[in-house]
Amino acid sequence: MSGTPASLRFAHLSDVHLAPMPPARPGQLAGKRLLGWLSWNLRRHRRHRREVLDAIRDELRAQPPDHVLVTGDLINISLPEEYARAAAWLAELGSPDRVSLVPGNHDAYVAGAADRGWPYWAAWMRGDESAAATFPYLRRRGFAAIIGLSTAVPTAPGYASGRLGAVQLAALRALLRDLAGEGLFRIVLLHHPPLPVSRPRKALLDREAFCEVIRRAGAELVLSGHEHRFHEGMLEGAEGPVPCFVAPSASLASNDAEKRGGYLRFGIGRQREGWRLEVRLRRYRVDRAALVETCARELVLARPLAGADCPTGSAS
């Protein structure tokens, strides 16, 4: 692993819900889309604010990480124009080699929408050796291996659940096992949280199966979103506990400290005793019109050192 950096810095965003929503033609508004359009125009547009997203973008430009991870829900009701606008926002956030994306349930809001819309985002959702966006995908960045999964499936009105499916889970298990032998820091991205924090109608339906894959194959970090609130926990892993973080919405403007939007920053470094992981939660304060740090963690993940030339260094 000669030439590999001693530390890496990542930013994690989720639940962008890009505003403003483009105008919809009458023929586009039926069933679940109509309900989502009404919800947005009656209340959600006041909560998901572009100034929060812009503050995060500006901070990432001023303090650029090595890579940005986005765990879905870029858009709202999967209108065709939403996909094009979100592609422009992604390009503003960073080039495809510096930004990795997985989709959320709002990105596949109704049947058929993803087939037409996801090609706009394909460059940010494919692996290093893939010509198309398929899941799981694998991207290698320094000593990190980024694995992207899709939990996005169309659901009935009133539901926002997700599913990985047996094929994706089997491929994930094989990937994690192969990468473990290379001594890489394995980061798994998915939209729906694998922690027990979601109501049944919003949950990851095969959450237990996903957790079993992590238990048997291991990982170093699992990142998700969906709940619009920050959560943290540990999953059982093959080599030891696996930190799991749920990012707040990257566009939510709230005076409630627990509901404030924001994002996460991670510093990862290799130590002799294992991986050192620094985590910082940055939230948007409406009263200050600024991002502030509200939570910090420092963890050490005991893992075997993979080879004498594996670099060591601070996570900062």
How many domains are contained in the chain? 1
Residues composing the chain = 316
Residue 314 lies in a domain: no
Model-level pTM?
0.95
307 within 8 A of 183, measured Cβ to Cβ: yes
Q: Exposed, middle or buried: residue 250 (CB in 10 Å: 0-12, 13-18, 19+)? A: buried
Q: What is the pLDDT of residue 309?
A: 44
Q: How many CB atoms lie under 10 A from the CB of residue 145?
A: 22
**Residue ranges in the chain modelled with pLDDT below 70:** 1-4, 305-316
Query: C-alpha dihedral over 125, 130, 134, 136, to 10 degrees?
Result: -80
| Residue 167 lies inside a defined structural domain of this protein | yes
What is the 3-class SS of 68-100, one letter each residue? EEECCCCCCCCCHHHHHHHHHHHHHHCCCCCEE
The closest of 144, 152, 120 to 133, measured between CA atoms, is 120
CATH no. for residue 238? Answer: 3.60.21.10
Does any domain span residue 307?
Answer: no
| Domain interval for residue 121 | 7-301
> What was the pLDDT predicted at 272?
84
Rg over CA atoms, the chain = 19
> Looking at the domain assignment, is residue 1 inside a domain?
no
Within a domain: residue 316?
no
pLDDT digit string, tens, across residues 70-128:
999 999 999 999 999 999 999 999 999 999 999 999 999 999 999 999 999 999 999 99
Instruction: Tell me whether residue 312 is in a domain.
Output: no
